[in-house]
A and B are shown apart, each in its own frame.
Chain A
Amino acid sequence: MTGAWALMAWPVIVPLLGAVLALLVGRDGVRIVAGVASIVTLVAVAVLAWKVATVGALHQDIGGWGAPLGIGWRADGLAVLMMLTVALVGSLISVNALDHLGNREDREYLPLWLFVWCALNALVMSADAFNLYVTLELTTLGAVALIVVRRDLPGLEAGLRYLLFALPGSLCYLLGISLLYGAYAALDMGLLAQRVQPGPVTWTAAALVTVGLCLKTPLFPLHVWLPPTYGGAPTPVTALLSALISKGSYYVLFRMWLEVFAPVLDAEVGQFLGVLGAAAVLWGSLLALSQSKLKQVVAYSSVAQIGYMFLVFPMATSGARSGAIYLVVSHAAAKASMFVAVGNIHQAVGITELGGVQGLAYRMPFTFLAMALGGISLIGIPPSGGFIAKWYLLNAAIQTHQWWWGGVLLVGSLLAAAYVFRILRGSFLPLPPGVEVRSIPLGNELAPLALALIALVLGLVPWFPLDLLAVGAAR
C-alpha cells in the first residue's frame, strides 16, 4: 500500500516543493528550479498513469482519516488522464509564457503555475467532496494570483472579476456538500453515492453544488464573467484558465453528477443542464462570430465548447462520458494552442484586431499551422481529438433517441468552422505594406504547434486515452 501512496503523492508534492523552492531561490534560479520540478512532476505523472493503466485504479486514505469522514485519494483512469493533460498542456503553455512575461513576472508566474499544478493534481485525485472543495479553492486562488501577475489595470480588473464570481461559486458548492454531510454523514464520494436518497435535502444540495460549479466553469448564462476575464488576463494565463483551470470545476461537477446525483434525480434535471449547454454552444458561437478582436473570438469559443461538455448530463451513457472527457482533454490542447498562437501574433505585430493577421501565414507558418490544427479540433473535423469527442456524443444522442442534441452538435461545429476560418483566411492575404513583423523565438512558435499536435494525435490514436479512461470507470 505504501507503494501506491508514494505513486500518488509524488505528482502533488513535487510541484508544491518546486513552487516553494522557486520562490526562495530568487531571480537567477527560478527557471532552473521550475524546469527541474516540471520534469520530475511529468515523470511522476507518467509513472502513475502507467501503473494505473497496467494494474488498475489506486485508492488511498490519508493521515488515518478513512471514510466516512476522511480524506481519500483515488487514481483511476479518468484522474490520470486529467493529470497527463494538465502536465503536458500546462508545461507547454509555460514554456511559451516565459518569453511573453517580463523578468519580474517570471519569478512569480513559475511558482504560481507550479502551485496551481499541484492543486489540480490533488483535485483530480480527491475521493471526497470536501477535499474537492479545498483543492478547488486552492486552484481558484492560484488562478487569481496568476491573472494579476502583470499588475496592470486590465489584469487587476480581470482578477477581481474572476474572484467575484468564483467565490460565490465556491460558497454554493460548500453549502451543498454541508447539506449532504448533515443528511448522510458522509463525504466520501463512494459512500455518498450509496447513501444518497431522493428528497428535498438532496435536491437542494444538488442544486447548490451544480449552480456553484456552473458558475466557476462557467456554463451559460453564468458565463458573463468569462470573456472580459479571459481578455484582461495575460495571454498565457488565459490559456491556462481556459484549457485547464476551468476544467477543474467541470471535473468536480462531472464526478458529483454522474457518480452521486444522477441516479437519484429526475431525468428532467439532466435535460435542463443539456438545454443550457446547447444554448451555450449556439450563443457562444454566435458571439465568437461577431467579435472583432482575435483573443475575444477564441475566448467566446470557450463558452461554446464548455456547452458541449454539458450535453453529457442528459445522455449519461458511457459513450457520452467518453465523449465529454475526450472533449475536455482535446479542448485543453486545442484551445491552449490557439491562445498561445494568439499571444505569438500579438507579440509579432502588436495588433489585436482580427484583421491584424493579414499575410502572417507566410511569416509565422508554425503559429498559423498550430492555429489551423487547433481550429480543426474545435470544429471537430478529423483527424483530431475534437472529432472523436463529437463522434461519441453524436452516437450517444442517437442511441438515447435524443437526436436534437446531435443537431446542436452539428450546428455548433458549423458555427465553429465559421469563426475559425474567419481567423485563418485573412492570414493568406498578402502582407499589407507598413506592417513590421518582429521575429519571435522559434521555441515560441513551436510550443503552440506541439499543443496542436497533441490535439491531432488524440484523433489519430484515440484507443489509448479511451482504454485508459475505462480503467476503474463506474459502469
Chain B
Amino acid sequence: MRGTWLPVWVLLSSLLPGLVIFLLPQDQRRTRTTLNLAAAVTKLGLTLFMAWGVFRGRHYETRLPFLPNADLVLRADTFSLLFILLSAVLWFVTTIYAVGYLEGTEHLSRFFGFFSLCVASTMGIALAGNLLTFFLFYEMLTLSTYPLVIHKGTPDALRAGNVYLRYTLTGATLLLAGVVLLYVLAGAVEFTERGALWGAVEHRTGLQVAFVLMIAGLGVKAALVPLHGWLPVAMVAPAPVSALLHAVAVVKAGAFGITRVIYDVYGVYLVHDLGVMRPLAVVAGITILYGSLRALQQGDLKRRLAYSTVSQVAYIVVGVSIFGTVSTIGGLVHLVHQGVMKITLFFCAGNFAEELHVHRVKDLRGVGRRMPLTMGAFTIAALGMIGIPPVAGFITKWYLGIGALEAKEPWLVGVLLMSSLLNAGYFLPILYAAWFQAPQQDWKPNPRRWEIGLSLLLPTLTTAALSLAMGLFAGWEFSPLSWTKLITEREFRP
C-alpha cells in the first residue's frame, strides 16, 4: 500500500461498504451486519496504522485535480488524526449498538447505507486539506444525515428533518460565501499549521467578513447559540443516530471546522490580531450557560442530553477561541472527551428506552436496581460531564480553567464554574433518583443473563470505561491529552 493513497483508503473503507449496503435486500441481515463490522474494523486498523505513521513523522497526502485553481486534497496531520481516531472508534461501537438497537425494524439497508456515508463524510471532513475539500464533505454530511434524522418516517420525524435542513443548509450557504470570499482574497489556501493567510493581511475587513461568515456557517452544526435550534428537535431520530450526531459526526464537524479555520487557515496569531477571537469566545461562553440552563428545564431524557450537548460542544469552541496554549489543549481534548462521554450517555438513554420504555427523567427512579450496569455507565459519564475527577471531563475543565486565567480571561472561569454547577443540577438528581429511590413501577425481571442484550450493553460499557481511562491515564504517551499537546505545540510554534 502506497502511503500517499492511505487517506483515500480510509475514506473508501466506509464509502464503498455503504454503497454495497444500499443494494442489499432487507432480509440479508447477516451479510449486512458482517459487512458493517468488517468495514468498521478495517477502518479502525487503517486509522491506527496511519496514526502510528504520523506519530513517527510520516506524511500522508493525496492530491486529486479538481478545479483549475483548487485541488482536492486529503491529508492526515495530527489534528485530523485526533478526529479520525475518535470517529473510527466510536463508529465501531455505534455500529454494534445500532445493529442490536434496530433489529427487526424496517429499511435497514437504507439506514446502514446512509450511516456509512455519514461516517465517510466525517472522514473526509477530518482529512480535508483545504477549505474546498472540507466544504464538499461538510455538505455531504448534511445530505447523508438527513435520511437518518427522518428515518422513522413519522410526521414528527419529517418535521424535524425540515428544521434540520433549514438550519444546516443556511449554515452551509454562509460557509460557502465565506470560503469563496477567502478564495478570492487569498487564493487556494491550504490547511497549514499556524495558518496560511499571512500573505493576505492587507484585506483586513475582507478577512474579518470571511471569518464571521465561515464561523456562522460552522456554528450551525456546532450548535452555537442562537444557531442551535435544530439539535433538540433532531432528537426524534433513533438512539444510535442521536449518539452519532451528538458525539461524533455533526456537532464535531462544526467544532472541528471552527478549529481548522482559526488555527490552520488564519493562524491563531492572525485571528487574535483581527480582533474576532474574543467575540467568538463570548458567544461560546453564552452558549455554555444557555445550553445548561435549558437542559435543566427538560423533562425528556434525550432532550436534556441534547441541550447538554449544546453546552458541552461550546467548551471546545471556547477553548480554541481563547489565545493561549493551555486553553487550546483543553478545547481540543474535549473534542474527544465530550464525544466518548456523550455517546455513553446516549447509549444509556437508548438502553432505558429499549428495555424499560423509559423516556422521561422522572421515570428513572430506581432504574439502577433493574439496570445497574447501564446506570453505572451513565453515572461515570455524567460525573465526567460535571467535571469530577478522575473522569475525562475533569481534565478538560482543568485545562480550560487554567488556560482562561493564563489568557487573562477570568470571566470564563466564572462561566465554567456556573456551568459545572448547572451540570450537577441536571445530572445529580438523575443519579440520586436512579440509585437511591424506589422504582415507581415493577419492572419485570429480565429472563436473560444480562440486563439488556449484549450488543447494547457492551458498547455502553466500553465507552464508559474509555471515559474513565482517558482521565486516569491522561499522562500516557498516546492519550488524547498527549496528542492534543502535540497538536497545540505545532500550532503555536512561532
Residues of A at the B interface (CB closer than 8 Å) are 362, 376, 379, 381-383, 387-388, 390-391, 394-395, 398-399, 406, 410, 413-414, 417, 421, 425, 428-430, 462-463, 466
**Could you tell me which residues of chain B, from 160 to 204, have a CB within 8 Å of some CB in chain A?**
161-162, 165, 169-170, 172-173, 176-177, 180-181, 183-184
What per-residue 1/0 map shows which CB atoms of B142-175 lie under 8 Å from chain A?
Answer: 1100010010010100100110010001101100
Residues in B with CB closer than 8 Å to A413 are: 173
A406 to chain B, nearest CB (A): 7
Given contacts A410-B177, A429-B153, contact A391 B139 (CB under 8 A): no
Residues in A with CB closer than 8 Å to B183 are: 395
Residues in B with CB closer than 8 Å to A414 are: 169-170, 173
The residue in B150, B162, B184 that gathers the most chain A C-beta atoms within 10 A of its C-beta is: B184
Query: B140–A428 contact, CB under 8 A?
Result: no
State which of A391, A421, A463, A466 has its C-beta within 8 Å of the C-beta of B162: A421
B152 to chain A, nearest CB (A): 9
Q: Answer yes or no: B415 CB below 8 A from chain A CBs.
A: no
Given contacts A410-B177, A414-B173, contact A466 B68 (CB under 8 A): yes
Residues in A with CB closer than 8 Å to B158 are: 425, 428-429
Query: A463–B65 contact, CB under 8 A?
Result: yes
Residues in B with CB closer than 8 Å to A383 are: 136, 140
A249 to chain B, nearest CB (A): 29
A406 to B140, CA, bound (A): 22
Residues of B at the A interface (CB closer than 8 Å) are 65-68, 107, 135-136, 139-140, 142-143, 147, 150, 153, 155, 158, 161-162, 165, 169-170, 172-173, 176-177, 180-181, 183-184
A388 to B173, CA, bound (A): 14
A382 to B143, CA, bound (A): 10
A390 to B135, CA, bound (A): 13
- 9 new A-B contacts, CB < 8 A, other than A383-B140, A390-B176, A463-B68, are A376-B143, A381-B172, A382-B135, A387-B139, A388-B67, A391-B180, A410-B173, A414-B173, A463-B65
Given contacts A394-B176, A428-B147, A462-B66, contact A382 B139 (CB under 8 A): yes
A383 to B135, CA, bound (A): 10
A475 to chain B, nearest CB (A): 14
A281 to B51, CA, bound (A): 48
Query: A382–B136 contact, CB under 8 A?
Result: yes
State which of B135, B153, B165 has its C-beta within 8 Å of the C-beta of A428: B153
Residues in B with CB closer than 8 Å to A399 are: 184
A414 to B166, CA, bound (A): 8
A172 to chain B, nearest CB (A): 37
Q: A393: nearest residue on chain B (CB-CB)? A: B180
Q: B65: nearest residue on chain A (CB-CB)? A: A463
Q: B109: nearest residue on chain A (CB-CB)? A: A365
Residues in A with CB closer than 8 Å to B177 are: 394, 406, 410
A145 to B67, CA, bound (A): 41
Residues in B with CB closer than 8 Å to A429 are: 153, 155, 158
Top 10 A-B pairs, shortest CB-CB distance: A382-B136, A398-B184, A394-B180, A410-B173, A463-B65, A417-B169, A381-B139, A382-B139, A428-B153, A399-B184
Residues in A with CB closer than 8 Å to B180 are: 391, 394-395, 398, 406
A323 to B65, CA, bound (A): 18
A428 to B150, CA, bound (A): 8
State which of A390, A430, A466 has its C-beta within 8 Å of the C-beta of B153: A430
Residues in B with CB closer than 8 Å to A421 are: 162, 165
- 5 A-B interface contacts by CB (under 8 A): A379-B169, A381-B142, A406-B180, A425-B150, A425-B158
B312 to chain A, nearest CB (A): 29
Residues in A with CB closer than 8 Å to B107 are: 362
Residues in A with CB closer than 8 Å to B162 are: 421, 425
A390 to B147, CA, bound (A): 25
Residues in B with CB closer than 8 Å to A390 are: 176
A224 to chain B, nearest CB (A): 30
Query: B140–A382 contact, CB under 8 A?
Result: yes
A410 to B170, CA, bound (A): 9
Query: B169–A463 contact, CB under 8 A?
Result: no
Query: B176–A410 contact, CB under 8 A?
Result: yes
A332 to B307, CA, bound (A): 44
Q: A384: nearest residue on chain B (CB-CB)? A: B139
A81 to chain B, nearest CB (A): 16
A463 to B71, CA, bound (A): 10
Query: B140–A463 contact, CB under 8 A?
Result: no
Residues in B with CB closer than 8 Å to A391 are: 67, 180
A460 to B147, CA, bound (A): 22
A359 to chain B, nearest CB (A): 9
Residues in A with CB closer than 8 Å to B169 are: 379, 381, 414, 417
A312 to chain B, nearest CB (A): 16
A379 to B176, CA, bound (A): 13
Q: A362: nearest residue on chain B (CB-CB)? A: B107
Residues in B with CB closer than 8 Å to A388 are: 67
B64 to chain A, nearest CB (A): 9
A406 to B162, CA, bound (A): 25
Query: A466–B67 contact, CB under 8 A?
Result: yes
Given contacts A428-B153, A463-B65, A466-B67, contact A417 B143 (CB under 8 A): no
A257 to chain B, nearest CB (A): 24
The residue in A387, A406, A410 that gathers the most chain B C-beta atoms within 10 A of its C-beta is: A410
A466 to B69, CA, bound (A): 12
Q: A398: nearest residue on chain B (CB-CB)? A: B184
A473 to chain B, nearest CB (A): 13
B219 to chain A, nearest CB (A): 17
Query: A398–B181 contact, CB under 8 A?
Result: yes
Residues in B with CB closer than 8 Å to A406 are: 177, 180
